Amino acid sequence: MEVFTHWHTWDTARADIAASGLPIDVDALEKAVSAAERWHGDQKRPTGAPYVEHLLEALEVLVRGAGVFTPSVLTAAVLHDVVEDTPASVQDVEAGFGPEVAELVDWVTKPPAGGAGRQAKRAARAAYLRRLGDAPAEAIQVKLADRASNVQTLDRMPPDFQRRYYAETLTYIVPLAEPHPWFRTWYASWSAGFAHLR
């Protein structure tokens, strides 16, 4: 299973993209990275790493792995958590990056749980994941890259979380990868590599 953890900083990502000669507007992406850094502020990943690393991993999955160069998809990948995890709104994303990016971010944004308690949160999460089956292909690409970033190093998470997240990924995310050949192959390799969590 290929792991996408090389782009820890925007400087590294930008240099790699520029050297590759790929048809990617690095200046537009830099604007998205700057906005994501501003909105996410000092948020950290569960590992303690700066949150932007996750966003750059999702971008790296799309570019270096899946070969996706669609500007709106790449921008949405960088911004995919801003509405869910920061004070930014879908309207803020639209004002800065246009309606297409805002729509993709909206599709992958988990709505707040409707009630208190673990059951309500799990039900809301399941409903959100099921709804992704109706999302446009571009939004699904963003979600697949997001989840790939999260699960590629699943073994670094607490054991009870590993099993739950593995099962959730098999149930809801792997089926979304079916129409996307690169993602289908990557998730098949990933699920085999973590099969001990079944």
- pLDDT tens for each residue of 160-191: 899 999 999 999 999 999 999 999 999 999 99
Q: Please indicate, yes or no, if residue 40 is contained in any of the structural domains.
A: yes
Q: Which of 16, 30, 84, 138 is catalytic?
A: 84
Q: Which of 16, 30, 37, 85 is catalytic?
A: 85
pLDDT in tens, 8-43: 999 999 999 999 999 999 999 999 999 999 999 999
Q: Please indicate, yes or no, if residue 2 is contained in any of the structural domains.
A: no
Q: Is 100 a catalytic residue?
A: no
Q: Please indicate, yes or no, if residue 184 is contained in any of the structural domains.
A: yes
Total domains in the chain come to: 1
Q: Please indicate, yes or no, if residue 151 is contained in any of the structural domains.
A: yes
Q: What is the predicted pLDDT for the residue at 165?
A: 95
Where residue 112 falls among pLDDT bands split at 50, 70, 90? Answer: confident
Q: Please indicate, yes or no, if residue 1 is contained in any of the structural domains.
A: no
Q: Please indicate, yes or no, if residue 86 is contained in any of the structural domains.
A: yes
Q: CATH number of the domain that 86 lies in?
A: 1.10.3210.10
Q: Please indicate, yes or no, if residue 173 is contained in any of the structural domains.
A: yes
Q: Is 103 a catalytic residue?
A: no
Q: What is the predicted pLDDT for the residue at 156?
A: 87
The mean of the pLDDT values for the chain is 94
Asked if residue 107 lies in contact with residue 42, where contact means CB atoms within 8 angstroms, the answer is no
Signed CA dihedral, 146, 77, 61, 183: sign only: positive
pTM, two decimal places: 0.95
Side-chain-facing half-sphere of 191: CA atoms under 13 Å: 17
Which residues span the domain enclosing 77?
10-197
Q: Please indicate, yes or no, if residue 4 is contained in any of the structural domains.
A: no
